[in-house]
Amino acid sequence: MAPPLLLLTDISLTLGSVPLLERATLSVGAGERICLVGRNGSGKSTLLKIASGEVPFDGGTRFFQPGATMRYLPQEPDLSAYADVMEYVLAGLGPNDDEYRVRYLLGELGLSGAEKPSHLSGGEARRAALARILAPEPDLLLLDEPTNHLDLPAIEWLEGELKSVSSGLVLISHDRRFLENLSRSMVWLDRGQTRRLDKSFAHFEAWRDEVLEQEEQEFHKLGRKIAREEDWLRYGVTARRKRNVKRLAGLHTLRAERRNFTHKLGTAKLATLDAATSGRIVVDADGIFKSFGEKQVVNNLTFRVLRGDRLGIVGPNGAGKSTLLKLILGQMVPDFGAVKLGSALDVVTLDQQRADLNPAASLADTLTGGNSDQVVVGGQARHVIGYMKDFLFKPEQARTPVGTLSGGERGRLLLALALTKPSNLLVLDEPTNDLDLETLDLLQEMLGDYPGTVIVVSHDRDFLDRVCTSVLMFEGRGRWVEYAGGYSDMLAQRGAGIEVVKAEKAEKRTAPKQAPAVIASAKTKISFKEQHELKQLNGDIAKLQLQMAQLEDILATPDLYTKDPKKFAQATAALADLHAKLEKAEERWLELEMLKEG
């Protein structure tokens, strides 16, 4: 059997007075695909930094096979020492590596190499870092949250690229679909120690729950043993004092063991405060257009959000998702068309940039406003420490500055703030960023029970599948199309995933710049035949919209998929066909209207 590329044995590390890692172990062989999972703050990133050789440790051993190559992707890559992206990526190559692969990867990731580090967005910096670590094709890749700040096309491309490389892989991620598609083994870092399962992520959660259940049973056995010993001490024979003292010492040991028994991981208690019920129609958008210069962000979009809907907004970075949110919320006015918000709305938003958080303020002051040690939830005052525990924060973190919290902790803090406010419309912009798997589960459960309406922007495919009742998908050139169901349902109806976007990008690169056909043709007069066609189109569009509404009502039937999957599939296929016909009719209608106006 070949020796491992990397072997960490009995690694221990204490930060301050708190032990972070205790006898942690990690073994990676050639070509292995290992996913490292655990709670936020459990030490996953630290263990990966120890594996990369960047962080010293207190005890244990680290072995890396001589002559092997390794590349490490940190959560926050630093490009500040380089003049441009190309210089940064080339600096990661070894003496025998091929520069052509650098150019290939940068092109695939949408970068030219001339970008200045100071002007890069978070997603662009992550793409540059991915090009740097993938270009050398090393023996071992250590990736810490590689999908952070990436849009869906980039995530799906990265999946395909990692599947094709022969490198060993250790991956930290909270993206379930990404883990399911890449993992072959799991390493669970829990309370400073590691456990390994040589199966994919699909088997992990059931295995983890079984381990915790066994610990729970051991905990109860320990409690019963303590009760027996206490009974003996109260009512047993007292003459044999030496034995009494020995058993008393044993009881103290058991009690100490129970106090230190940390099997209970704690669960975030996410509960929303309901406001008054909103009107039936929450958002009514009618033929809205929005452009910035020559870039058309929204092109003739009509849709409606009803009370109780869970609408997902999906598209690549730069498509205009944030602009669309602002149009929906009335924070921005469309160039043409109208957006009407329903009555009695109480809106709570969650910003993906964490802009609402003051990095200098303590965790407790952020929750209370700095005026007391109480936080008002549902009209009732609660001590801030108790409320912090609901979101997995420890009491000793109360005075911790927000700026020192991890990304996952900041995400939980924003959730804690948002959920103290009464609402009947939740607008969540990338709510899953940096949240661990357990908190994601609870967020999904909370949204499932939420009686109001949810509008969510996300690149997390599994989250969209679990939460959304419909998806508004960017189709290019300002066109958005709504599909029933979650992300997977959208793919089934659309017939393609990111390929459409890729094809459009290729077309933009090769096609010469010219005015849109509808504008160029606007100078011609509309013929009698075209006038008749325009009149006919008005009726056809109305009929198509009515047929689509009927199909959407059928698909909205509870448990239709489980009770009658054939009917669900037929309705889904018919709806996709009507979407295509409506889109074609609307494009022709717009062309004729512009001819008429010309």
Which residues are known binding-site members for ATP? 38-45, 315-322
Please tell me the distance from the alpha carbon of residue 387 to that of residue 311, in angstroms, as a whole number.
Answer: 29
CB-CB contact of 188 with 38 (8 Å): yes
Structure tokens of 67?
């002559």
Which DSSP string corresponds to 470-516?
A: EEEEEEETTEEEEEESSHHHHHHHHS-STHHHHHHHHHHHHSPP---
Please tell me the distance from the alpha carbon of residue 62 to that of residue 178, in angstroms, as a whole number.
Answer: 28
Please tell me the distance from the alpha carbon of residue 402 to that of residue 365, in angstroms, as a whole number.
Answer: 10
CB-CB contact of 44 with 37 (8 Å): yes
Closest among 415, 590, 460, 535 to 179, alpha carbons compared: 460
Closest among 380, 431, 383 to 408, alpha carbons compared: 431
Closest among 390, 179, 146 to 268, alpha carbons compared: 390
Q: Over 509-568, what HEC string results? A: HHCCCCCCHHHHHHHCCCCHHHHHHHHHHHHHHHHHHHHHHHHHHHHCCCCHHHHCHHHH
Give the type of residue at 300: N
Q: Which residue has the tokens 């911790």?
A: 400
Give the type of residue at 121: S
CB-CB contact of 304 with 556 (8 Å): no
Q: Binding site: what residues are annotated?
A: 38-45, 315-322
For 293-372, list the strands marked E by DSSP.
295-306, 310-314, 336-341, 347-350
Enumerate the β-bridge partners of residue 47. Answer: none
Structure tokens of 567?
């009917």
Please tell me the distance from the alpha carbon of residue 213 to that of residue 209, in angstroms, as a whole number.
Answer: 6
Ramachandran angles phi, psi of 69, nearest 5°: -115, 150
